[in-house]
Amino acid sequence: MSAGSPANCERFSWQSVPSLLSLCINFVADNLDLVESFQHFPDLLGKEIFLAAERNEQFAQPDSTVIQRLELFSTAFSTEFLQSLYLSREHLLVNYLSDDFLLFAGVQSLNLSHCGLSDDHEILYKLSCFTNLNTLSLQDNALTSRGLQKLTLPLRMFNRGPKLLKALDLSENPELTIHGIRYLKAYPLLCVLNLSNTAISKNDTKLQLLSMRVCIPEEGVSGGLDSCFRLQTEGWASNVINTWLTWYNNKSKRPRLGENSFYSKQRLKFRLTKCESYAKPRYQLVLKK
């Protein structure tokens, strides 16, 4: 059969020549810096462009250029871009991304547990832009009543914030007292609240302000909390986030000359102190509607 036979031409056309659509998708994916907006694009087409850009390593490291590229998708596709974000114990990356944290404003579930945020962290105020949020974990973040005041201020004063919030984990914040409970009335749909291992007792009468019943799970029983707060990163950008975590953790592990020997005793003392703190008596306090 000759090279120019119809059969060979047909095989070549089907196997070697990409479709016009795939050519356009790859062209756009390679030139995201020239795109102004993906508003009103079909979700399916937006996903194909995103995946093509990811394959071409357009989102490899979280620098300013990459953030601008991702904002095109987060603005236009919001929830599809990222439905759930799990950043527990990733305080280094959280702080690194704090200026650009609104990139994730479309998420419905967010876990920021064990990130050392404290009352004055700017992310607390930025959560007012997370209007789709229905599940939030702020476990073990050194929060006090002042932190709850700051967290709920935009919603209480300007009616701007996560009005759809249903589940909130504030456990392991030992300085959190009953005085901050009144601020949580700003969340009208709140139906699960974890206050375990805080300074709040089941006998505090101000708990009645939330119109929720106290539910103290038995020892060793989660009381259904696992299903509420056991999150994982989901959405188009899930692989991007996981890549960033690996990249930043590897970056932060690079030792500096003389640092290990100088700080070894301090680090050991910190770890022992932390272990002792977790050895203290623990209790569970959960409120539900």
Residue 18 is predicted with a pLDDT of 80
Neighbours of 281 (CB within 10 A): 5
Residue 243 is predicted with a pLDDT of 94
Q: What pTM, to 2 d.p., does this model score?
A: 0.83
Residue 278 is predicted with a pLDDT of 46
* DSSP symbols for 215-278: E-PPTT--TTHHHHH----BSTTHHHHHHHHHHHHHHHTPPPTTHHHHHHHHHHHHHHHHHHHH
Residue 97 is predicted with a pLDDT of 93
User: What are the extents of the domains in the chain?
Assistant: 7-77, 78-251+282-289
- Please give the DSSP secondary-structure letter assigned to residue 110: E
pLDDT in tens, the chain (289 residues): 455 565 555 555 556 778 999 999 999 999 999 999 999 999 999 999 999 999 999 999 899 999 999 999 999 999 999 999 999 999 999 999 999 999 999 999 999 999 999 999 999 999 999 999 999 999 999 999 999 999 999 999 999 999 999 999 999 999 999 999 999 999 999 999 999 999 999 888 888 888 888 886 654 445 556 667 888 999 999 999 999 999 888 876 665 545 454 444 444 444 444 444 444 556 789 999 8
C-alpha separations of 233 from 9, 61, 79, 237 in Å: 46, 18, 12, 9
What count of Cα atoms within 13 Å lies in the side-chain half-sphere of residue 81? 19
CATH number of 78-251+282-289: 3.80.10
